[in-house]
Structure 1
Amino acid sequence: MATCQDDPGKARDSEVTAAPCEGNAVLRGSPLGAPADMDRIVTVQDIEQVLKLCKGSHYDHYLPTADWEVRSGRRLRVFRWSHRTRVAE
């Protein structure tokens, strides 16, 4: 089975920095089976582009929204989960 772990052009979940008080974006929503109410604060390179996170054999896609949120004095861009795609073999 192909994985996205060796794809240098895509963000791996471990490369998206998660920190409780830092970051520039908040990820909302999730695929079925994951907690829908769990927000993740992360740091992304470009807050204007679709975020494609590598999750082993698939990618989770998050779209930037027009919404912003302030947490701990930091302005965060809100990204909403859009869909999941499988890695091509």
Structure 2
Amino acid sequence: MSDFEVLLVGGPSAIPGEERVQLAPSLTEKVKYRFGAHYEHFVHEGEFTAVGEKRLPVYRWTMRTAIAE
């Protein structure tokens, strides 16, 4: 089974645009993106969008958690 390219939408505006496309193992699992001393959490709710020639699932930001030390 291969990973899916997904588009991260929302969350901190400082996340670079080139890092907004990430890989996810499934469309039902949330994506945790490490950003500074936190994880930004994104989920897919069925939306898709065109990015260049590709149609990608949209993962929207839901919350931030601190990285445990």
1:30 and 2:11 aligned? yes
Task: Find the partner of 1:75 among 52, 55, 63.
Answer: 55
Equivalent residues, number: 63
TM-score by length of 2: 0.68
TM-score by length of 1: 0.56
Gaps of 5+ in 2: none
Larger Rg: 1
Aligned partner of 2:42 in structure 1 is 62
Percent identity (aligned): 29
Aligned partner of 1:50 in structure 2 is 30
Gaps of 5+ in 1: 1-22
Write the distance in 1 (CA, Å) between the matches of 2:43 and 2:64: 12
Cα offset, 1:84, TM superposition = 0.6
Answer with 73-82 or 39-48: which moved more.
Answer: 39-48
Write the distance in 1 (CA, Å) between the matches of 2:68 and 2:23: 27
Write the distance in 2 (CA, Å) between the matches of 1:63 and 1:53: 11
RMSD: 2.3
